[in-house]
Structure 1
Amino acid sequence: MKIKPLLALCRISNLPTVWMNVLTAMVLIDYAVPATVQWVWLPVLALALSAFYCGGMVLNDLCDYQWDKQHQPYRPLVTGSVSVKTAVIIAITLFLTGFILVALTPFALTGLCAAVALFATIAIYDVFHKKTTASILVMGLARALVFVVVLMALTGEWLQWVLIAAVLQFLYTLSLTFVARYEHMRGKPYTGPVIPRMIAGMAVVDGILLALVVAPVWLLAGIALAVLTRFGQRYVRGD
């Protein structure tokens, strides 16, 4: 089996936006409660949330298999480059990996509760998103819960700035999802890669917030991860 279809199935090119979400949450935790963050957890949580993200993308394609046959025939499951059985195994493995990694964190119980909420939100969206426009709210909630998982796994407390970051990404994801749905409704693609650019923009949103709240230099991190996202999207589709 070739590796590129697997990467496309998982939308791996979009992962830098998830990493920026995790980084933003940790920086804001450290800002709110100085010297409490153990940065060794950054790669652990980045990997955990990456696993949930990729697992959600695989589950999405499994749920959309029949729809994709007519509307998005380039998807790996439709082309047969990845079998349905393999995709099921990959999805289960990714979700289990996410839970196991969160279970290693300092506040494992609250972290796992947040992770369960994230998983449930992902599953609800993937199953029902083609049946109701209200699902865009669920998509926004799923992205916001990335911040909540990090917050609960590292502190077990609610911190204002992390929740503000979550709300901003919730709102941005709503706009992104609406624009993507409108593209399907109009029956023809936008001129230029509008959706991939908006996905990359998630990292910039976080960078702007950190620049305003913590230090301007963090905007560079957001831009860098947005550029990395766009670079990856040139080789593996992110939409």
Structure 2
Amino acid sequence: MSTLPFRPDFNAVLSLCRVSNLPTVWMNVLTAAVLSGAVSNSAGNGPVSHSALLVVLLAFALSCFYCGGMALNDLCDLEHDRLHQRYRPIPAGRITAGHARAVTLALFACALACLLPVPHRAGLVAGVVLLFVIWVYDHFHKRHPSTVFAMAGARLLVYVVTAFALTGGISAVVGIAALVQAAYVLLLTVVARHEGHTAAGRYRWPVIPWMLAAMPLLDGFVLAMLAHPAWLLAGVVGMGLTRAGQRYVRGD
């Protein structure tokens, strides 16, 4: 009697990739695009349309990098999760390690492929660097506390990839936004690591989910100061989308 092949639950894939956090990535890309002048400096239907499509393409590419990084993180942490976080998709049996590897490879391949048609090849080079930093963090973060800087660096590279892909370089204001967000991610990572050392292993209040959701808001404040106050609304929307997504898919 033949048995049907195992098919992963689609919700398990969403959980594996922590898709609820994607609005934070989208806001990073939007911030870098606005501060690079790729959004505000366009004029006319043609350039506006072209720039908008390019920003959407970059948001999709960096979403794939993020989701691939999260999936790789679960693969690298599998033995730890089997003991301490059995609700994660792989130890819970909702998806096999083999399927998770396939998802990871497909996401990274798609991310790099999306960077091929961008106007400046520097964006693709920065994407390869981002992929390397993600690999370093996922493979070594349980053994080397200093890899918190790799996590912050990966988030900083979201801005770098976007700016390089759009303009071939990075302006001072994009650098400021990237450093502010990287510093925040560094703080978030330290707070998240401390959570595991609390008596219950969890904070009584959802500190990490709220800190994750606040990432777009931080970008909104930066844009409000460096570009136009109206951009703060985009940060508020990004925070709301992240919190709404966390109701269905855990982001921590």
TM normalised by structure 2 equals 0.92
- Which one of 183, 186, 192 corresponds to residue 171 of structure 1? 183
Cross-structure match for 2:14 = 7
Question: CA contact under 8 A between 1:31 and 1:214: conserved in structure 2?
Answer: no
Tell me the distance in 2 between the aligned counterparts of 1:168 and 1:32: 21
Other structure's SS at 2:25 match: helix
Question: CA contact under 8 A between 2:72 and 2:104: conserved in structure 1?
Answer: yes
1:184 and 2:191 aligned: no
1:79 and 2:86 aligned: no
1:44 and 2:52 aligned: no
1:205 and 2:218 aligned: yes
Other structure's SS at 1:34 match: coil
Tell me the distance in 2 between the aligned counterparts of 1:45 and 1:32: 13
How far the C-alpha of 1:104 sits from its partner, in A, is 1.2
Other structure's SS at 2:155 match: helix
Equivalent residues, number: 238
Provide, for residues 183-213 of structure 1, a one-character-per-residue CA deviation record: whole Å limited to 9, x for no partner: 0122421112110110111101100000111
How far the C-alpha of 1:85 sits from its partner, in A, is 0.5
How far the C-alpha of 1:33 sits from its partner, in A, is 8.5
Other structure's SS at 1:27 match: helix
Provide, for residues 48-106 of structure 1, a one-character-per-residue CA deviation record: whole Å limited to 9, x for no partner: 00000000000000000000011101000001100000000000000000000011111
Cross-structure match for 1:226 = 239
CA RMSD of aligned residues (A): 1.4
How far the C-alpha of 1:156 sits from its partner, in A, is 0.8
Cross-structure match for 1:133 = 145
TM normalised by structure 1 equals 0.96
Tell me the distance in 2 between the aligned counterparts of 1:74 and 1:158: 41
1:155–1:139 Cα change, 3 Å: same
Cross-structure match for 1:111 = 123
Equivalent residue letter for 1:59: L
Question: CA contact under 8 A between 2:38 and 2:166: conserved in structure 1?
Answer: no
Question: CA contact under 8 A between 2:36 and 2:170: conserved in structure 1?
Answer: no
Q: Greater CA radius of gyration, 1 or 2?
A: 2
How far the C-alpha of 1:42 sits from its partner, in A, is 1.4
1:16–1:33 Cα change, 3 Å: closer
How far the C-alpha of 1:39 sits from its partner, in A, is 2.0
Instruction: List runs of 5+ in structure 2 lacking aligned partners.
Output: 1-7
Instruction: List runs of 5+ in structure 1 lacking aligned partners.
Output: none
Tell me the distance in 1 between the aligned counterparts of 2:225 and 2:72: 36
Cross-structure match for 2:3 = none
Other structure's SS at 1:78 match: coil
